[in-house]
Amino acid sequence: MKAAVLHRTGDLQSLDSNLAVEETKEPDAEDGRAIVRVEYASLNRRDVYIAQGLYSKIKLPVIPGSDCSGLVYSVPDGTSEFKPGDEVIIDPSIQWGDSPSHQSARYSILGMPMNGTFAEFVSADLKNLHLKPSHLSHREASAIPLAGVTAYRALFTRGRLSGGENILITGIGGGVAALAMQFALSAGANVFVTSGNDEKLRKAVELGAKGGALYTTDGWENEIREMCGGRMDIVLDSAGGDSFAQLPEIVSYGGRIVLYGASLGPAHRVNLHRFFWKQLDVLGSTMGSPDDFANMLKFVEERKIVPVIDSEYRLSDITSAYRKMNDNRQFGKIVVMCR
Ligand SMILES: NC(=O)c1ccc[n+]([C@@H]2O[C@H](COP(=O)([O-])OP(=O)(O)OC[C@H]3O[C@@H](n4cnc5c(N)ncnc54)[C@H](OP(=O)(O)O)[C@@H]3O)[C@@H](O)[C@H]2O)c1
Protein backbone atom coordinates (compact mmCIF):
# COMPACT_ATOMS: atom_id res chain seq x y z
CA MET A 1 0.00 0.00 0.00
CA LYS A 2 0.98 3.65 -0.30
CA ALA A 3 1.70 5.44 2.94
CA ALA A 4 3.53 8.49 4.27
CA VAL A 5 6.34 7.06 6.39
CA LEU A 6 8.27 9.24 8.82
CA HIS A 7 11.88 7.99 8.85
CA ARG A 8 13.59 10.87 10.62
CA THR A 9 12.61 13.95 12.59
CA GLY A 10 13.96 17.44 12.04
CA ASP A 11 12.99 20.92 10.91
CA LEU A 12 10.37 21.18 8.19
CA GLN A 13 12.95 22.19 5.57
CA SER A 14 14.05 18.55 5.46
CA LEU A 15 10.50 17.20 5.64
CA ASP A 16 10.45 15.99 2.02
CA SER A 17 13.25 13.55 2.76
CA ASN A 18 12.12 12.72 6.32
CA LEU A 19 8.50 11.94 5.44
CA ALA A 20 8.41 9.78 2.31
CA VAL A 21 5.29 8.65 0.48
CA GLU A 22 6.25 5.10 -0.48
CA GLU A 23 5.08 1.53 -0.93
CA THR A 24 4.96 -0.26 2.38
CA LYS A 25 3.47 -3.43 3.85
CA GLU A 26 -0.27 -3.44 4.57
CA PRO A 27 -1.27 -3.92 8.23
CA ASP A 28 -1.76 -7.57 9.26
CA ALA A 29 -5.23 -8.85 10.14
CA GLU A 30 -5.14 -9.55 13.89
CA ASP A 31 -7.62 -10.80 16.46
CA GLY A 32 -9.89 -8.08 17.76
CA ARG A 33 -8.79 -5.64 15.08
CA ALA A 34 -10.29 -4.34 11.86
CA ILE A 35 -8.53 -3.09 8.77
CA VAL A 36 -9.98 0.12 7.42
CA ARG A 37 -9.44 1.44 3.91
CA VAL A 38 -8.76 5.12 4.41
CA GLU A 39 -10.69 7.49 2.17
CA TYR A 40 -9.65 10.73 3.86
CA ALA A 41 -7.32 11.52 6.76
CA SER A 42 -6.84 14.86 8.48
CA LEU A 43 -3.88 16.62 10.00
CA ASN A 44 -3.39 17.65 13.62
CA ARG A 45 -0.72 19.86 15.16
CA ARG A 46 0.58 16.71 16.81
CA ASP A 47 1.66 15.38 13.40
CA VAL A 48 3.79 18.48 12.84
CA TYR A 49 5.29 18.27 16.34
CA ILE A 50 6.17 14.59 15.80
CA ALA A 51 7.84 15.38 12.44
CA GLN A 52 9.86 18.11 14.19
CA GLY A 53 10.90 15.73 16.98
CA LEU A 54 8.97 17.82 19.53
CA TYR A 55 6.93 14.94 20.95
CA SER A 56 7.81 12.54 23.74
CA LYS A 57 8.79 8.91 23.11
CA ILE A 58 9.05 9.14 19.32
CA LYS A 59 9.47 5.72 17.68
CA LEU A 60 10.55 5.55 14.05
CA PRO A 61 9.80 4.63 11.36
CA VAL A 62 6.11 5.31 11.74
CA ILE A 63 3.09 6.10 9.59
CA PRO A 64 1.69 9.22 11.29
CA GLY A 65 -1.94 10.39 11.28
CA SER A 66 -4.59 10.11 14.01
CA ASP A 67 -7.75 10.85 12.04
CA CYS A 68 -9.55 9.20 9.18
CA SER A 69 -12.83 8.25 7.64
CA GLY A 70 -13.03 5.15 5.49
CA LEU A 71 -14.54 1.75 4.77
CA VAL A 72 -14.16 -1.43 6.78
CA TYR A 73 -11.96 -3.65 4.61
CA SER A 74 -11.78 -6.70 6.87
CA VAL A 75 -12.85 -7.81 10.34
CA PRO A 76 -12.09 -11.06 12.18
CA ASP A 77 -14.64 -13.75 11.19
CA GLY A 78 -17.98 -13.53 13.01
CA THR A 79 -16.72 -11.45 15.92
CA SER A 80 -17.87 -8.01 15.01
CA GLU A 81 -20.94 -5.84 14.62
CA PHE A 82 -19.11 -4.29 11.64
CA LYS A 83 -18.84 -5.78 8.18
CA PRO A 84 -16.71 -5.02 5.14
CA GLY A 85 -17.96 -1.91 3.37
CA ASP A 86 -19.30 -0.17 6.50
CA GLU A 87 -18.40 3.52 6.56
CA VAL A 88 -16.50 4.25 9.75
CA ILE A 89 -14.36 6.68 11.67
CA ILE A 90 -11.85 5.65 14.34
CA ASP A 91 -11.55 6.89 17.92
CA PRO A 92 -7.81 7.72 18.02
CA SER A 93 -7.48 7.09 21.78
CA ILE A 94 -5.67 3.85 22.64
CA GLN A 95 -5.89 2.38 26.16
CA TRP A 96 -7.62 5.32 27.82
CA GLY A 97 -8.22 3.07 30.83
CA ASP A 98 -10.97 2.82 33.44
CA SER A 99 -11.16 6.32 34.88
CA PRO A 100 -13.39 8.88 33.19
CA SER A 101 -11.36 11.64 34.87
CA HIS A 102 -7.99 10.94 33.20
CA GLN A 103 -6.18 8.61 30.81
CA SER A 104 -4.10 5.63 32.00
CA ALA A 105 -0.30 5.49 32.09
CA ARG A 106 -0.40 3.22 29.00
CA TYR A 107 -2.39 5.74 26.98
CA SER A 108 -1.34 6.56 23.42
CA ILE A 109 -2.83 8.11 20.30
CA LEU A 110 -3.21 6.48 16.90
CA GLY A 111 -0.38 7.56 14.59
CA MET A 112 2.64 7.16 16.91
CA PRO A 113 3.84 4.81 18.23
CA MET A 114 1.14 2.76 16.47
CA ASN A 115 0.97 3.25 12.70
CA GLY A 116 -1.69 5.77 11.72
CA THR A 117 -3.94 7.01 8.99
CA PHE A 118 -1.70 8.68 6.37
CA ALA A 119 -1.97 5.48 4.33
CA GLU A 120 -4.33 3.50 2.16
CA PHE A 121 -5.07 1.08 5.04
CA VAL A 122 -4.94 1.33 8.81
CA SER A 123 -5.50 -1.24 11.54
CA ALA A 124 -7.73 -0.36 14.51
CA ASP A 125 -9.15 -2.10 17.55
CA LEU A 126 -12.79 -3.02 16.89
CA LYS A 127 -13.70 -1.10 20.07
CA ASN A 128 -12.46 2.09 18.42
CA LEU A 129 -14.65 1.84 15.31
CA HIS A 130 -17.74 4.02 15.03
CA LEU A 131 -20.14 4.40 12.14
CA LYS A 132 -19.47 7.58 10.21
CA PRO A 133 -22.16 10.24 10.82
CA SER A 134 -24.46 9.81 7.83
CA HIS A 135 -24.80 13.55 7.10
CA LEU A 136 -21.03 13.85 6.54
CA SER A 137 -18.91 12.87 3.54
CA HIS A 138 -15.68 10.96 4.23
CA ARG A 139 -13.84 14.22 3.57
CA GLU A 140 -15.82 16.00 6.29
CA ALA A 141 -15.90 13.09 8.73
CA SER A 142 -12.10 12.75 8.65
CA ALA A 143 -11.93 16.17 10.34
CA ILE A 144 -13.90 15.02 13.37
CA PRO A 145 -12.16 12.41 15.58
CA LEU A 146 -9.18 14.00 17.35
CA ALA A 147 -10.25 17.64 17.20
CA GLY A 148 -13.86 16.65 17.97
CA VAL A 149 -13.15 14.64 21.09
CA THR A 150 -10.65 17.24 22.34
CA ALA A 151 -13.10 20.10 21.81
CA TYR A 152 -16.02 18.16 23.29
CA ARG A 153 -14.25 17.12 26.49
CA ALA A 154 -12.66 20.55 26.98
CA LEU A 155 -15.97 22.39 26.52
CA PHE A 156 -18.50 20.11 28.14
CA THR A 157 -16.95 17.35 30.29
CA ARG A 158 -14.27 19.58 31.80
CA GLY A 159 -15.56 23.11 31.07
CA ARG A 160 -19.25 22.44 31.91
CA LEU A 161 -20.30 24.92 29.24
CA SER A 162 -24.01 25.65 29.07
CA GLY A 163 -26.30 27.63 26.80
CA GLY A 164 -26.30 31.41 27.31
CA GLU A 165 -22.76 31.52 28.71
CA ASN A 166 -20.07 33.74 27.21
CA ILE A 167 -16.98 31.90 26.04
CA LEU A 168 -13.67 33.11 24.61
CA ILE A 169 -11.96 30.67 22.22
CA THR A 170 -8.40 31.74 21.42
CA GLY A 171 -6.59 31.12 18.09
CA ILE A 172 -9.80 30.42 16.19
CA GLY A 173 -7.98 29.32 13.01
CA GLY A 174 -6.88 26.12 14.79
CA GLY A 175 -8.54 22.80 13.99
CA VAL A 176 -9.68 22.17 17.56
CA ALA A 177 -10.63 25.83 18.12
CA ALA A 178 -12.82 26.05 15.01
CA LEU A 179 -14.69 22.86 15.88
CA ALA A 180 -15.02 24.00 19.50
CA MET A 181 -16.63 27.19 18.22
CA GLN A 182 -19.14 25.17 16.18
CA PHE A 183 -19.95 22.97 19.21
CA ALA A 184 -20.27 25.96 21.56
CA LEU A 185 -22.55 27.83 19.14
CA SER A 186 -24.70 24.75 18.75
CA ALA A 187 -24.98 24.53 22.55
CA GLY A 188 -26.30 28.11 22.62
CA ALA A 189 -23.21 29.85 24.00
CA ASN A 190 -22.11 33.35 22.97
CA VAL A 191 -18.71 32.86 21.35
CA PHE A 192 -15.90 35.44 21.25
CA VAL A 193 -12.62 34.65 19.54
CA THR A 194 -9.04 35.76 18.98
CA SER A 195 -6.79 35.20 16.00
CA GLY A 196 -3.55 36.43 14.48
CA ASN A 197 -5.39 37.19 11.26
CA ASP A 198 -8.22 39.62 10.43
CA GLU A 199 -9.67 37.39 7.71
CA LYS A 200 -10.04 34.52 10.22
CA LEU A 201 -11.87 36.83 12.64
CA ARG A 202 -14.23 37.76 9.82
CA LYS A 203 -14.86 34.07 9.00
CA ALA A 204 -15.55 33.29 12.66
CA VAL A 205 -18.16 36.05 12.82
CA GLU A 206 -19.71 34.73 9.59
CA LEU A 207 -20.02 31.35 11.29
CA GLY A 208 -21.79 32.88 14.30
CA ALA A 209 -19.17 34.31 16.69
CA LYS A 210 -20.27 37.54 18.41
CA GLY A 211 -16.91 39.20 17.77
CA GLY A 212 -13.17 38.86 17.94
CA ALA A 213 -9.85 40.58 18.47
CA LEU A 214 -6.35 40.22 17.04
CA TYR A 215 -4.06 38.71 19.68
CA THR A 216 -1.21 40.49 17.89
CA THR A 217 -2.61 43.91 18.94
CA ASP A 218 -1.70 45.46 22.30
CA GLY A 219 -4.77 45.68 24.50
CA TRP A 220 -6.73 42.91 22.74
CA GLU A 221 -7.97 41.77 26.13
CA ASN A 222 -9.72 45.14 26.62
CA GLU A 223 -11.43 44.79 23.24
CA ILE A 224 -12.76 41.36 24.25
CA ARG A 225 -13.88 42.66 27.66
CA GLU A 226 -15.86 45.44 25.99
CA MET A 227 -17.44 43.09 23.44
CA CYS A 228 -18.75 40.71 26.10
CA GLY A 229 -20.02 43.49 28.37
CA GLY A 230 -17.52 42.52 31.06
CA ARG A 231 -18.87 39.00 31.53
CA MET A 232 -16.72 36.08 30.35
CA ASP A 233 -17.75 32.79 31.91
CA ILE A 234 -15.17 30.53 30.34
CA VAL A 235 -11.99 30.72 28.25
CA LEU A 236 -10.72 27.88 26.05
CA ASP A 237 -7.02 28.13 25.21
CA SER A 238 -4.26 26.02 23.68
CA ALA A 239 -1.65 28.71 23.16
CA GLY A 240 -0.37 29.18 26.72
CA GLY A 241 2.88 31.16 26.66
CA ASP A 242 2.97 34.80 27.69
CA SER A 243 -0.55 35.52 26.41
CA PHE A 244 -1.88 33.15 29.09
CA ALA A 245 -1.35 36.01 31.57
CA GLN A 246 -4.27 37.88 29.97
CA LEU A 247 -6.77 35.05 30.51
CA PRO A 248 -7.34 35.43 34.29
CA GLU A 249 -7.77 39.17 33.63
CA ILE A 250 -10.52 38.54 31.04
CA VAL A 251 -12.48 35.78 32.78
CA SER A 252 -15.14 36.86 35.29
CA TYR A 253 -15.34 36.05 39.00
CA GLY A 254 -16.18 32.36 39.43
CA GLY A 255 -15.19 31.62 35.82
CA ARG A 256 -13.26 28.75 34.22
CA ILE A 257 -10.12 28.61 32.11
CA VAL A 258 -9.75 25.37 30.17
CA LEU A 259 -6.29 24.65 28.74
CA TYR A 260 -5.81 21.83 26.21
CA GLY A 261 -2.40 22.80 24.79
CA ALA A 262 0.59 25.07 25.27
CA SER A 263 1.79 25.81 21.72
CA LEU A 264 3.69 28.90 22.90
CA GLY A 265 5.34 27.15 25.85
CA PRO A 266 5.44 28.14 29.52
CA ALA A 267 3.44 31.06 30.88
CA HIS A 268 5.54 33.71 32.60
CA ARG A 269 4.43 36.67 34.70
CA VAL A 270 0.98 35.27 35.46
CA ASN A 271 -0.70 37.18 38.28
CA LEU A 272 -1.60 34.35 40.66
CA HIS A 273 -3.71 36.64 42.86
CA ARG A 274 -6.36 36.69 40.15
CA PHE A 275 -6.90 32.94 40.49
CA PHE A 276 -7.81 32.87 44.13
CA TRP A 277 -9.38 36.32 44.40
CA LYS A 278 -11.68 35.71 41.44
CA GLN A 279 -12.35 32.10 42.58
CA LEU A 280 -11.34 30.73 39.18
CA ASP A 281 -11.24 27.10 38.08
CA VAL A 282 -8.27 26.23 35.89
CA LEU A 283 -8.94 22.96 34.10
CA GLY A 284 -6.55 20.90 32.01
CA SER A 285 -8.05 18.72 29.31
CA THR A 286 -6.57 16.10 26.99
CA MET A 287 -8.29 14.11 24.25
CA GLY A 288 -11.24 12.20 25.75
CA SER A 289 -12.52 8.92 27.16
CA PRO A 290 -14.48 6.40 25.06
CA ASP A 291 -17.65 7.94 26.56
CA ASP A 292 -16.53 11.44 25.56
CA PHE A 293 -15.95 10.17 22.02
CA ALA A 294 -19.38 8.50 21.81
CA ASN A 295 -21.10 11.57 23.29
CA MET A 296 -19.25 13.85 20.88
CA LEU A 297 -20.33 11.75 17.93
CA LYS A 298 -23.96 11.78 19.11
CA PHE A 299 -23.76 15.57 19.46
CA VAL A 300 -22.35 15.92 15.92
CA GLU A 301 -25.03 13.65 14.49
CA GLU A 302 -28.01 15.13 16.32
CA ARG A 303 -27.00 18.70 15.56
CA LYS A 304 -25.82 17.94 12.03
CA ILE A 305 -22.50 19.68 12.62
CA VAL A 306 -20.35 19.97 9.51
CA PRO A 307 -16.72 20.73 10.37
CA VAL A 308 -14.95 23.61 8.68
CA ILE A 309 -12.47 22.22 6.14
CA ASP A 310 -9.68 24.61 5.23
CA SER A 311 -8.10 22.73 2.36
CA GLU A 312 -7.47 19.34 0.80
CA TYR A 313 -4.19 17.72 -0.27
CA ARG A 314 -3.33 14.46 -1.97
CA LEU A 315 -1.32 11.93 0.04
CA SER A 316 1.54 12.42 -2.45
CA ASP A 317 1.64 16.12 -1.48
CA ILE A 318 1.22 15.66 2.27
CA THR A 319 4.36 17.67 3.10
CA SER A 320 2.66 20.80 1.72
CA ALA A 321 -0.18 20.18 4.17
CA TYR A 322 2.34 19.98 7.05
CA ARG A 323 3.90 23.29 5.96
CA LYS A 324 0.55 25.03 5.76
CA MET A 325 -0.25 23.96 9.30
CA ASN A 326 3.18 24.93 10.58
CA ASP A 327 2.67 28.44 9.18
CA ASN A 328 -0.80 28.75 10.82
CA ARG A 329 -2.31 29.53 7.41
CA GLN A 330 -5.36 27.32 7.96
CA PHE A 331 -8.86 28.05 9.23
CA GLY A 332 -10.26 24.72 10.45
CA LYS A 333 -9.04 21.33 9.37
CA ILE A 334 -6.60 20.33 6.63
CA VAL A 335 -7.61 17.01 5.05
CA VAL A 336 -5.65 14.50 2.98
CA MET A 337 -7.18 12.28 0.31
CA CYS A 338 -5.68 8.80 0.74
CA ARG A 339 -7.66 6.60 -1.66
N1 LIG B 1 -4.47 18.03 24.85
C2 LIG B 1 -4.96 17.49 23.74
O3 LIG B 1 -5.58 16.43 23.76
C4 LIG B 1 -4.80 18.20 22.45
C5 LIG B 1 -5.51 17.80 21.33
C6 LIG B 1 -5.37 18.53 20.16
C7 LIG B 1 -4.50 19.61 20.13
N8 LIG B 1 -3.80 19.93 21.23
C9 LIG B 1 -2.87 21.08 21.23
O10 LIG B 1 -3.63 22.25 20.95
C11 LIG B 1 -2.89 23.13 20.13
C12 LIG B 1 -3.68 23.42 18.85
O13 LIG B 1 -3.85 22.21 18.13
P14 LIG B 1 -4.59 22.18 16.71
O15 LIG B 1 -4.47 20.81 16.18
O16 LIG B 1 -5.92 22.83 16.82
O17 LIG B 1 -3.56 23.10 15.92
P18 LIG B 1 -3.68 24.05 14.69
O19 LIG B 1 -4.84 23.69 13.84
O20 LIG B 1 -2.33 24.08 14.10
O21 LIG B 1 -3.97 25.46 15.38
C22 LIG B 1 -3.02 26.24 15.98
C23 LIG B 1 -3.57 27.65 16.15
O24 LIG B 1 -2.92 28.26 17.24
C25 LIG B 1 -3.27 29.63 17.16
N26 LIG B 1 -2.29 30.50 17.80
C27 LIG B 1 -1.02 30.75 17.42
N28 LIG B 1 -0.48 31.70 18.22
C29 LIG B 1 -1.45 32.04 19.12
C30 LIG B 1 -1.51 32.98 20.21
N31 LIG B 1 -0.51 33.75 20.52
N32 LIG B 1 -2.68 33.05 20.90
C33 LIG B 1 -3.74 32.27 20.57
N34 LIG B 1 -3.72 31.38 19.56
C35 LIG B 1 -2.59 31.27 18.87
C36 LIG B 1 -3.39 29.97 15.67
O37 LIG B 1 -4.67 30.58 15.52
P38 LIG B 1 -4.94 31.71 14.39
O39 LIG B 1 -4.61 31.01 13.10
O40 LIG B 1 -6.39 32.03 14.53
O41 LIG B 1 -4.04 32.86 14.67
C42 LIG B 1 -3.31 28.59 15.01
O43 LIG B 1 -4.19 28.42 13.94
C44 LIG B 1 -1.53 22.45 19.90
O45 LIG B 1 -0.64 22.88 20.89
C46 LIG B 1 -1.84 20.99 20.11
O47 LIG B 1 -0.72 20.23 20.48
C48 LIG B 1 -3.92 19.26 22.39
Count other C-beta atoms under 10 Å from residue 186's C-beta: 16
* Cα 164 to middle of ligand 1, angstroms: 25
pLDDT in tens, 38-94: 999 999 999 999 999 999 889 999 999 999 999 999 998 877 899 999 999 999 999
Three-state secondary structure readout of 124-185:
EEHHHEEECCCCCCHHHHCCCHHHHHHHHHHHHHHCCCCCCCEEEECCCCCHHHHHHHHHHH
Q: Does residue 193 have its Cβ closer than 6 Å to ligand 1? A: no
19: part of which helix (H) or strand (E)? strand 19-23
- 69's enclosing H/E stretch is strand 67-74
If pLDDT is split at 50, 70 and 90, which confidence band does 115 have?
Answer: very high
Beta strands in 147-294 (DSSP E): 166-169, 190-195, 211-214, 234-237, 256-259, 281-284
For 233-256, the pLDDT digits (tens) are 999 999 999 999 999 999 999 999
Q: Sort strands 281-284 and 256-259 into parallel, antiparallel or unpaired.
A: parallel
Percent of the chain topping pLDDT 90: 97
What is the 259 CA–ligand 1 centroid distance (Å)? 11
Express each pLDDT in 180-211 by its tens digit.
Answer: 999 999 999 999 999 999 999 999 999 999 99
Is the shortest distance between the CB of 260 and ligand 1 below 6 Å?
yes
CA distance 216 to 306: 29
pLDDT of residue 29: 87
* pLDDT over 90 (residue 222): yes
pLDDT at site 79: 73
Whether residue 132 is predicted with pLDDT greater than 90 in this model: the reply is yes
Query: pLDDT value at position 150?
Result: 99
* Average pLDDT of span 294-299: 98
- Which residue has the CA at smallest separation from atom 26 of ligand 1? 171
Question: Is 173's C-beta closer than 6 angstroms to any atom of ligand 1?
Answer: yes
Say how far apart CA 331 and CA 277 lie, in whole Å: 36
Whether 9 shows a pLDDT value over 90: the answer reads yes
111 lines ligand 1 (CB under 6 A): no
Ligand 1 neighbourhood includes 246 CB (under 6 angstroms): no
Q: What pTM, to 2 d.p., does this model score? A: 0.98
Contact partners, residue 73, CB within 8 Å, separation at least 6: 34, 35, 36, 37, 84, 121
Tell me if 173 sits within 8 A of 238, measured CB to CB.
no
Domains and their CATH numbers in the chain: 2-144+307-337 (3.90.180.10), 158-284 (3.40.50.720)
